[in-house]
Amino acid sequence: MYENPDGVMIGLEVHVQLNKLKTKIFCGCATDYHKDPPNSHVCPVCLGLPGSLPVINKKAVEAAIKVGLALNCRIEEYTQFYRKNYYYPDLPKGFQISQYDFPIASKGQIIIEGEDGELIVRITRAHLEEDPGRLVHEGTIDRSKYTLIDYNRSGMALLEIVSDPDLRSPKEARRYLDKLRNILEYLDVFDGDLEGALRVDANISIMGGQRAEIKNISSHKGAERALLFEIVRQKITLSMRTKEEAHDYRYFPEPDLMPLKVSGWAPEIKETLPELPDARRMRFIKQYGITDDQAKSLTGELVWADYYEQVLKIYENEYGEKLDPKFAAAWINDYLKGEMNYRGSTLTYAVGKVSHHLIWHEYTVAILGLLKHEKITDDNAVIIFRNLLDSPRGGSDWRPVKKAADSAENYVMRILEEKGLLKVEGDIVETAAFEAINENPQAVADYKAGKEKALNSLVGAVMKKTKGGADARKVREILLVKLG
Ligand SMILES: [Zn+2]
């Protein structure tokens, strides 16, 4: 039982930019501004010019309902937009269109792995609003002589997801954020790799202390660190900051947008919900017989879950037989994912664009096929994987193979051959063993005198002769037979 000695209570407000929508929330400006010059994706509406009128993007409302349903929220019958007043240059019209009463979704939950087992984190609400523009300073904000404003971001659809203060430690806060991001990825509503895609504000209080707010945390690691810092700080001094209250914003209904009756949309959208991370994890365990840890690790990132299942599927198509899913999980999750994490590289991902994979499915299919049919050894497979991961794309060792696993297989075999690492056939191993015994009479004598370790030097000699291409276990067996 986790005792929560400091009485820590953390609630998070997560702003998710629905950047997979084609257009902004209240105008027709395109959302793919990230590589374009500042202020090139703007119009009178998202610049907030007087007299311009917002028109709600239906797809944004649908995406918000989709997220609400995935978070087990209630979808309100009516939803209403409000003006939230405050004046900053990134919002030149002097207010932000947001929601207040009647948010799109409320009273949901996310289940995470808490300090002492499963923890239900309640979702207070999820509501839509417009993203403000971006203030850019030359150098640091206090030294910059001027402020630049880029309104490309202004009017991007934001979904603010507010949790109850159910989190009891920075670690739980981080797990909550990981889980939420995981769910959002599955829902395909945002691209988390884009700048500003997910921003977090935290409300934290510890027993006897005041509430404090930490604004604008941009990474999950950052969230954990900032919260830890705040807990320590509160233990030393009591925060005297007061949070802005709702009445400071003088909310009032946005007169240019009618209330939307959305409850009727929910059933149809519910039909389109994909299999979510928890369900997929359970299915992986049941269907593939892999361990809970493996299933958690694979489904914890959509790209890996998809990769795993695609390899199984491609393998079956290519070889006309099923690949043992446990064997595949051992190589893909336990080995390949580890190697990639170690290198700080990820399987970058875009739905339907296999070309973004650093390791093509076909390579993995080919390597696992060669392993399974005992044409290469485990050591060889490791060498090939490392070779693929370390070769710059387009380098001589790395070539995308688009066609089929058999061409990837040829390719893998060629690399092994070039490196002199091809698994060596039985009679060559036999010959090498024969030679090793003849060339190392001392080791043979030592072994026969009962020194078990002498066998290792003979195995080593054979491996050297076969350039590591022989299977060490089999070499051992052959030597034992020969030594009688
Ligand atoms: Zn616009």
| Alpha carbons 463 and 461: distance in angstroms, whole number | 5
Q: How far is the CA of 156 from the centre of ligand 1 (A)?
A: 9
The predicted-structure confidence for 411-435, as pLDDT tens digits, reads as follows: 777 777 777 666 666 677 788 888 8
Helix residue ranges per DSSP H, 320-391:
325-329, 338-342, 361-372, 378-390
The predicted-structure confidence for 257-308, as pLDDT tens digits, reads as follows: 999 999 899 999 999 999 999 999 999 999 999 999 999 999 998 889 999 9
What pLDDT score does 76 carry? 87
Interval 350-377 mean pLDDT:
70
The predicted-structure confidence for 371-410, as pLDDT tens digits, reads as follows: 998 888 888 888 888 877 776 553 444 444 454 555 677 7
What pLDDT score does 396 carry? 40
Confidence of residue 33 (pLDDT cuts 50, 70, 90): very high
Interval 220-228 mean pLDDT:
72
Are 446 and 457 spatial neighbours (Cβ–Cβ below 8 Å)? no
Classify residue 161 by its DSSP letter: E
Burial label for 484, CB within 10 Å (0-12, 13-18, 19+), is: exposed
| Element containing residue 181 per DSSP (H, E) | helix 170-187
Report helix, strand or coil for 319: helix
Give the pTM: 0.80
DSSP strand pairing (105-114 vs 74-75): antiparallel
Q: How far is the CA of 241 from the centre of ligand 1 (A)?
A: 36
What pLDDT score does 203 carry? 86
Q: How crowded is the C-beta side of 249, counted as CA atoms within 13 Å?
A: 17
| Alpha carbons 260 and 354: distance in angstroms, whole number | 39
Confidence of residue 177 (pLDDT cuts 50, 70, 90): very high
Q: How far is the CA of 68 from the centre of ligand 1 (A)?
A: 26
Q: How far is the CA of 75 from the centre of ligand 1 (A)?
A: 28
| Alpha carbons 468 and 447: distance in angstroms, whole number | 23
The predicted-structure confidence for 229-253, as pLDDT tens digits, reads as follows: 766 665 544 444 445 566 778 899 9
How much of the chain exceeds pLDDT 70, in percent?
86
Q: How far is the CA of 71 from the centre of ligand 1 (A)?
A: 30
Helices 472-483 and 441-448, interaxial angle, to 10°? 70
Beta bridge partners of residue 157, listed in sequence order: 130
Q: How far is the CA of 57 from the centre of ligand 1 (A)?
A: 12
Interval 68-86 mean pLDDT:
94
Q: How far is the CA of 157 from the centre of ligand 1 (A)?
A: 11
The predicted-structure confidence for 115-172, as pLDDT tens digits, reads as follows: 999 999 999 999 999 999 998 888 777 788 888 999 999 999 999 999 999 999 888 9
Burial 424-441 (b: 16+ CB within 10 A, else e): beeeebeebbeebbeebe
What pLDDT score does 324 carry? 96
| Alpha carbons 125 and 12: distance in angstroms, whole number | 11
The predicted-structure confidence for 102-120, as pLDDT tens digits, reads as follows: 999 999 999 999 999 999 9
Structural domains in the chain, CATH included, are: 9-270 (no CATH), 277-418 (no CATH), 426-483 (1.10.10.410)
Q: How far is the CA of 197 from the centre of ligand 1 (A)?
A: 19
Are 317 and 274 spatial neighbours (Cβ–Cβ below 8 Å)? no
What pLDDT score does 209 carry? 66
Interval 66-84 mean pLDDT:
95
Are 358 and 404 spatial neighbours (Cβ–Cβ below 8 Å)? no
Task: Give CA torsion, residues 93, 248, 11, 6, to 10 deg.
Answer: 140
| Alpha carbons 260 and 262: distance in angstroms, whole number | 6
Tokens 């003979």 belong to which residue? 458
Q: How crowded is the C-beta side of 436, counted as CA atoms within 13 Å?
A: 27
| Alpha carbons 322 and 317: distance in angstroms, whole number | 9
